[in-house]
Amino acid sequence: MHQLEKGRLHGAGIDRRNRQQRSDSTRAALKRSVPFAALDDAAFEGLLGVCSPARFPRRGLLYEQGSVPDSVFVVASGRVRVVRAAGESRTLTVAYCLPGDLLGETALPDGQSYRGTATATEPVEAVRVPLRSVQALLFESPAFSQRMLALMVDRRIEAERRVESLLSRSVESRVAEFLVDASDRNGIADARGVLIGVRYTHQEIADYVGSTRETVTLTLGEMRRQNLVCFDHRRIVITRLPELTKLV
């Protein structure tokens, strides 16, 4: 009996540690998200109590366009691709979301449906935040509302910029723009220039810039011949950022 009791106590201790680790991970992820970081301590702790961790395998579905929303998500680790259907057979990559990014927020205004499909491009850990809780915070917390409004305006401006780019710029210019933006978000200083810290496949770049994998491969190859970029274990290094920026 003594050994059995010790085993129960040991198991209970492990459970407590696991719960604490999940709580710490959820807290850290929310703090990285600009809107949630604006909450005061009481509101933040209240929100923390209704959030839950979520894990998705590679190609796992976080939500689907047109489905009824019940949550928004904050990425804790991994990468999520958000796409939007454009007709019956085509999709447009809207964004690649990284740790700290909020997604699903376009369902907030009316709560009727998700306006895109979010899929994990690699194993993802995320925080699931109930939609109703976020809607309540929009009324209760002016600081949160301002940050959320700023986020949605920034994303609207970015969407309009991308539409203009797709309609008026060459593939070379759009690929250069993608690389410059990626270096701004995930650039790491490197002896060769700026290393983009996230691995993007040629297909992922093609999906984002509205081209084909073959064309993107040829474009990157030409950029490498011009010594604008080089490659390091499937990651891209921008070797001459000012010159690459001129192509945008």
Q: What is the pLDDT of residue 3?
A: 65
Are 80 and 96 within 8 A, CB to CB? yes
Q: What is the pLDDT of residue 110?
A: 87
Distances (CA, A) of 192 to 39, 49, 120, 187, 195: 41, 46, 31, 12, 8
Q: What is the pLDDT of residue 25?
A: 86
For residue 12, is pLDDT > 60?
Answer: no
For residue 9, is pLDDT > 80?
Answer: no
Report pLDDT digits (tens) over 21-34.
667 889 999 999 99
For residue 100, is pLDDT > 60?
Answer: yes
What is the spatial distance between Cα 38 and Cα 35, in angstroms, rounded to a whole number? 5
List the beta strands (DSSP E) in 137-244. Answer: 187-190, 193-196, 229-232, 235-238
Report pLDDT digits (tens) over 184-241.
999 999 999 999 999 999 999 999 998 999 999 999 999 999 999 999 988 999 999 9
Which one-letter amino acid corresponds to residue 125? E
- For 158-185, what is the mean pLDDT? 92
Please report which confidence band the pLDDT of residue 109 belongs to, taking 50, 70 and 90 as the band edges.
Answer: confident
- For 117-130, what is the mean pLDDT? 96
Name the CATH superfamily for 2-166: Jelly Rolls (2.60.120.10)
- For 81-89, what is the mean pLDDT? 83
Q: What is the pLDDT of residue 234?
A: 85
Q: Which of 4-13, 91-100, 131-140 bottoms out in mean pLDDT, i.e. has the lowest?
A: 4-13
For residue 147, is pLDDT > 80?
Answer: yes
Q: What is the pLDDT of residue 55?
A: 96
For residue 151, is pLDDT > 60?
Answer: yes
**Percent of the chain whose predicted confidence (pLDDT) is above 70:** 90
Q: What is the bridge-based pairing of β-strands 102-103 and 229-232? A: unpaired
Please report which confidence band the pLDDT of residue 16 belongs to, taking 50, 70 and 90 as the band edges.
Answer: low
Which one-letter amino acid corresponds to residue 180? V
Which one-letter amino acid corresponds to residue 175? V
- The dihedrals phi and psi of 61, each to the nearest 5 degrees, come to -95, 120
- For 169-245, CATH gives 1.10.10.10
**Percent of the chain whose predicted confidence (pLDDT) is above 90:** 77
Residue 228: closest CA among 164, 173, 163: 173
Q: What is the pLDDT of residue 91?
A: 80
Element of type H or E holding 79: none
Q: What is the pLDDT of residue 1?
A: 52
DSSP classification of residue 228: S
- For 40-51, what is the mean pLDDT? 95
Are 188 and 198 within 8 A, CB to CB? no
Q: What is the pLDDT of residue 15?
A: 52
**Domain boundaries of the chain, sorted by first residue:** 2-166, 169-245
